[in-house]
Every structure is written in structure tokens, then in C-alpha cells.
Amino acid sequence: MEPNTQIRNYSKVLDEKYGVEGTPERIAFEEKAYAYYTGQILEDARKKAHLTQSELAERIGSDKSYISRIEKGKTEPKVSTFYRIVNALGLSVELNPAATEK
């Protein structure tokens, strides 16, 4: 069996699978994707900080299962909890204006 070497237009793939941008199905997919990406970023940061899920949970006054659900993208922390996690990991959040097209 030969590998698939075709270049795919993933915008089209997403449109076909989840609907075009702005549809309820696409919005739901994007929200799940953002939760997953956020969880992966936090998991990577936790590991770089050499902390276990239990240690991070203790630092923010939570439990290991909550940290696990966040890292798996199963739940999204409230903004205040997100900032507690970021601070516990020794990170900071910086907000910058989005680049605009001319």
C-alpha cells in the first residue's frame, strides 16, 4: 500500500466534516479544539516545570483529576483558575493586539 502523498486543503476538510466557519457545528468543533490545545500547552509547561499533576493541583487548591481533565481537553478552566495555573507554573500571559490586514 502506497502512502498518501496528496496535499490536502484542510480548510476544505474541516468545512466538509464540521460545516463552514460560523455554523454551530464548526463553532463546537473549534471550542473543543481550543480546549485540547490549551490542555496540551499546560501539560507541556507542567512537565517542563518538573511538576506532577498532583503537585500542580495542590499549588492551585484543586485535585489531580481536575488537572488531568484540563490537560486532556475534557474541561476548560475558568479564567481565574487558568491564571492560577499559569502563575503556579511560573509563566505569564501577555496580550497583544492582533495583526490587522491592510
Its sign, for the CA torsion 3, 5, 11, 15, is negative
pLDDT for 15 beyond 70: yes
60 within 8 A of 85, measured Cβ to Cβ = yes
Cβ–Cβ under 8 Å, residues 31 and 63: no
Which pTM was predicted? 0.78
pLDDT band with cut points at 50, 70 and 90 for residue 34: very high
Cβ burial of 96 (10 Å; 0-12, 13-18, 19+) is exposed
If residue 73 lies in a helix (H) or strand (E), which one and from where to where? none
pLDDT bracket for residue 98 (50, 70, 90): confident
Mean pLDDT comparison of 17-21, 25-29, 57-61, highest-scoring range: 57-61
**pLDDT reported for residue 58:** 98
**Per-residue pLDDT for 47 more than 80?**
yes
Domain ranges of the chain: 10-88
- Average pLDDT on 27-53 reads 95
Q: Is 102 a residue whose pLDDT tops 80?
A: no
Please, what CATH class does the domain formed by 10-88 belong to?
mainly alpha
